[in-house]
Structure 1
């Protein structure tokens, strides 16, 4: 962005003297260029900048804060809509009426203090006019901690009824990622049972964390490192990845919205803005979610629409397909985004606790945690195993153990959220064998991590299957029973005989699947009616 001196080039000498008067500095130069250079030198003083900002009215301080939160510039139309206009007057009226002493808006206050200028900058959609803070002043303000008015927290403390039922943050996201990775390794698109967090959010984390690449290829080395990383450090890594990744588009994850078309939303800038609002909230205090959203709407409604354009994005409501176009749908888009941001990613990443007025009701309050969740995998925690091949794995068992074990088993639904249930079956063992896994590997896992010794019958069954494959099976078949042995012999010699299978006795034989009608026709030709018990 332009510097202070560059921003002053279009102003006349009278305007420069007004700036000197408001800043409280002497301006000795009598020629515009020299006066501009002199003023630029004197105003770039950290202590003087801090003093000027400290004296700003509240509305002007909020306008300055908005500029700082947006990297020093905001589209002019958006800035003017939020912080007011700058009157276009000639030098004569300006000096005669001294309008700079009674500004009509926050924007005009900053303008007559050299804290606001306007210019056209390049933009993906073409040149666009911006309100901006001169670059060197921006650097001074950002470098002086006391130069900006302390940020006011948006929203209010939650009432007792708003936090009656508490849902503390967890690190269960780590377990969901383990589950999803194991499912993908087995060739499934998703786990057979739902996740505790969000399948969409968890799936979006995987490529951002480089656990999968190229549209789904698993990175086995990266997965091994992740699964063996201590839980608190693994969660910290995910938080850093989520903060910095443009691949994770929070707006597109909201289940109530459908985003379509080629438009692009500012993923990182939006996340940074929302985190900035949340960082101003006192730690470990219950905060009203509704009032927080309402205050953002009032003070910073365009936090994700940098141009203030509410018509360009094609977003539909998921339940009825209605297009959410215009500022009138702010609550359904921006409001929904803020709510999802807090009760979704921030909660799943262990950064906030949630609360509601009723048990298992909609969230009404949140609490920014002073420290992260500290979940631990317990070395002493073992898996439970019985002689029928059922395996129960606690959440506290090392994630790498569950990931490996789940590849040998069928997955079963568990009613206990802190355990995972699996069943060893011939089909699950065959699937594991096709992926290059060995029974010796499974036996090694069970010996090392089971709470009890492997039941001898299960050990023998696994070793026999390894040597001989499946030795017993249950089948569903159709059986034809005739009253006389000679009728069966005649049927076997007929054209329909090719549809008969294994002979089970003098008057009983297996009928091939789907061949009942052909057998019935052949029997009628023999003068025999057949009753099909399978035809219900």
Structure 2
């Protein structure tokens, strides 16, 4: 950091005289250059510095202490949000109104005494403006913390216990993320569009990639899938949670609904995650905690938790609903505050680590409780098979079995805690194209239903394995005429190319999409036709 001389070098003679006046120093030189040398020497007197520091108002004393404990500098935005800004004023207005005698903030108190300056310094994210104490002046301060300046977190939990009014209907944490992950993995292996899941697909995909169950391109990896699905539920949930905990790629901010992140800027999701978890670790486990009070205290004490340089302008984030860009500290609640809420009420809840409570009349969680679910290691849910090929699989059935069975079936809309599938010739053909055999499905069903597979389905699967599809059901358009002579005349006309298989002397199949053309041809032959709607 620049020393005192260079920090005051760009200031005019009027500013230097203000600093001297507030320090009780008389400057002899009428020019800025000489006055600067006199002032720099005087301000570095340890005894005089002690007198000035002792005379500071409490807020200004807190501000200079914060700078000292931070190693001598803090991002300008961070510093001024807490301790106030410096009013914009030219030299004339400053001297005429004597603004320095009526400081509007702690920052002005320190600035007009020469104790702080502002300048741009290089950071990992590029040049960033800082409030700083000149280097030689900083060396005279007694550090309140002799350790290297590192971010510290109070041992006291932020926020407060939830009030009775913040408690309401409880939503316990569960391990249903494992079931959604199983559904998504099966859909990916089948190459079909995944059905709607309780937890957003992009979150599950990111977790599966963090655990390397999917590669970076989102392709399923057979061996990791097998390990994940065969693991006891408690261990499988821990696999996802541990992968999330250590992932640099899982980005809660970019996954958060309601906003759109644009541009090439980067954030630090791993560091942000660790910081927030440290804050939450201070909250007593099992105690309901006020969500709003926690957010409020984070904003007061650690507003820049995910923005180390206090930069609220370089990230291009817009509101998804109307496209408005959310730049500046004024949008903290919509971005940074929303991220904390998403982190607690969604990510941690989905991973089985937080219970939620919604107060009466509220639409969103109002309190939370740190917990750890007792996930059962046994998956004993039932699998039932009907003679028409319908298969019902309870949510608590072995995940690996549902994954395997679902690859042979058409998927139907699931019920509460139950997945529904149906065996069809199309689904068996699709499975065969992926190297699967009908006999494998039959073996799975026999084993996991206690040999309660209907004989008719057993017979059907075995016959399909040998003969393939033996019967087809088709919906076709049939043309019926009153006499065979009419059909014969049709077959000799230009409409013949629209006619298919002859079913009887007076009945013929009409090729797909050709109804109107056949009707037009009949009209040209002098015959009017009518279309009969099927009655179901």
Tell me the TM-score range normalised by the shorter chain: 0.7 to 0.9
Aligned ranges 1:96-175 → 2 under 5 Å? 120=121, 122-126=123-127, 129=130, 137-138=146-147, 151-175=155-179
CA distance in 1, matches of 2:463, 2:234: 42
The equivalent residue for 2:285 is 283
Q: 1:203 aligns with which of 202, 205, 220?
A: 205
CA distance in 2, matches of 1:468, 1:359: 62
1:82–1:281 Cα change, 3 Å: farther
CA distance in 2, matches of 1:354, 1:518: 63
The equivalent residue for 2:447 is 448
- Checking the alignment, whether the CA contact within 8 Å between 2:285 and 2:369 is kept in structure 1 is yes
- Checking the alignment, whether the CA contact within 8 Å between 2:159 and 2:297 is kept in structure 1 is yes
- Checking the alignment, whether the CA contact within 8 Å between 1:382 and 1:451 is kept in structure 2 is no
The equivalent residue for 1:513 is 512
The equivalent residue for 1:227 is 229
Measure how far apart 1:119 and its partner are. Answer: 10
Is residue 184 of structure 1 aligned with residue 193 of structure 2?
A: no
CA distance in 2, matches of 1:59, 1:179: 55
CA distance in 2, matches of 1:496, 1:169: 66
The equivalent residue for 1:486 is 485
The equivalent residue for 2:251 is 249
- Checking the alignment, whether the CA contact within 8 Å between 2:408 and 2:441 is kept in structure 1 is yes
Q: Provide the aligned C-alpha RMSD in A.
A: 3.7
CA distance in 2, matches of 1:457, 1:323: 62
How many pairs does the alignment contain? 453
Measure how far apart 1:380 and its partner are. Answer: 4.2
Aligned ranges 1:68-467 → 2 under 5 Å? 75-81=74-80, 84=83, 120=121, 122-126=123-127, 129=130, 137-138=146-147, 151-189=155-193, 191-192=194-195, 194-358=196-360, 361-369=363-371, 372-378=372-378, 380-416=380-416, 418-467=417-466
3-state SS of 1:138 partner: coil
Unpaired segments ≥5 residues, structure 2: 2-39, 54-59, 87-104, 111-118
Unpaired segments ≥5 residues, structure 1: 2-9, 23-56, 88-103, 110-117, 143-147
1:210–1:66 Cα change, 3 Å: farther
Measure how far apart 1:472 and its partner are. Answer: 2.1
- Checking the alignment, whether the CA contact within 8 Å between 2:477 and 2:509 is kept in structure 1 is yes
Give CA-to-partner distance per residue, 1:324-374, whole Å, 9 cap, x none: 1221111111121111111110100111100001389411100012xx223
What TM-score, normalized by structure 2, do the two folds share?
A: 0.75
CA distance in 2, matches of 1:497, 1:525: 13
Give CA-to-partner distance per residue, 1:442-479, whole Å, 9 cap, x none: 11111111145211011001111112222222211111
1:510–1:58 Cα change, 3 Å: farther
